[in-house]
């Protein structure tokens, strides 16, 4: 699943956003995104006969936080100033769900639309 998120992120960086990547599957067999990203995490049969195919992705990592420090010491020998930096790391995690909507066509499902992901997942 991480591969799917990375592919979406890479494609989004090149093309602008995840919405454009998802839009590229409209009119194609659901086999296309499955071949690109693996089987969906979830499928839902919708009341109108369509089916929602969902891929859930979680991206996590750490963000470096750098602090600049200065200390001054006063003593009998004079004044000494020392400065330096220290780096700590803050963990983060972001979950996104990408949904393609399909309509049955023979033995296949054709992508007819998608749900726009949240802004954070674009």
Q: What is the pLDDT of residue 8?
A: 52
* DSSP element (H, E) containing 87: strand 78-105
3-12, 43-52, 113-122: which has the minimum mean pLDDT? Answer: 3-12
Q: What is the per-residue pLDDT across 3-26, written as a single tens digit (0 to 9) for each? A: 554 555 554 444 448 888 899 999
* DSSP element (H, E) containing 103: strand 78-105
Q: What is the pLDDT of residue 98?
A: 92
* Predicted TM-score (pTM) of this structure: 0.64
Q: What is the per-residue pLDDT across 51-96, written as a single tens digit (0 to 9) for each? A: 999 998 888 888 899 998 898 888 887 888 889 998 999 898 888 8
Asked if the model's pLDDT at residue 46 lies above 80, the reply is yes
Residue in this structure with the two tokens 């992901």, named with its chain if needed: 117
The values of phi and psi at residue 12, to 5°, are: -65, -40
Q: Who's near 36: CB < 8 A, 6+ residues apart?
A: 4, 7
What is the rounded CA–CA span in Å between residue 84 and residue 80? 14
């Amino acid at each position: 699943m991480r591969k799917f998120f990375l592919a979406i992120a890479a494609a989004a960086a090149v093309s602008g956003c995840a919405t454009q990547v998802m839009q590229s599957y409209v009119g194609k067999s659901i086999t296309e995104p499955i071949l690109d990203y693996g089987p969906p995490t979830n499928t839902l049969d919708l009341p109108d006969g369509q089916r929602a195919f969902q891929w859930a992705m979680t991206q996590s990592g750490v963000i470096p936080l750098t602090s600049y420090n200065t200390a001054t010491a006063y003593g009998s020998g004079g004044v000494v100033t020392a400065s330096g930096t220290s780096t700590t790391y803050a963990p983060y995690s972001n979950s996104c769900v990408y949904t393609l909507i399909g309509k049955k066509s023979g033995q296949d499902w054709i992508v007819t639309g998608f749900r726009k992901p949240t802004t954070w997942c674009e």
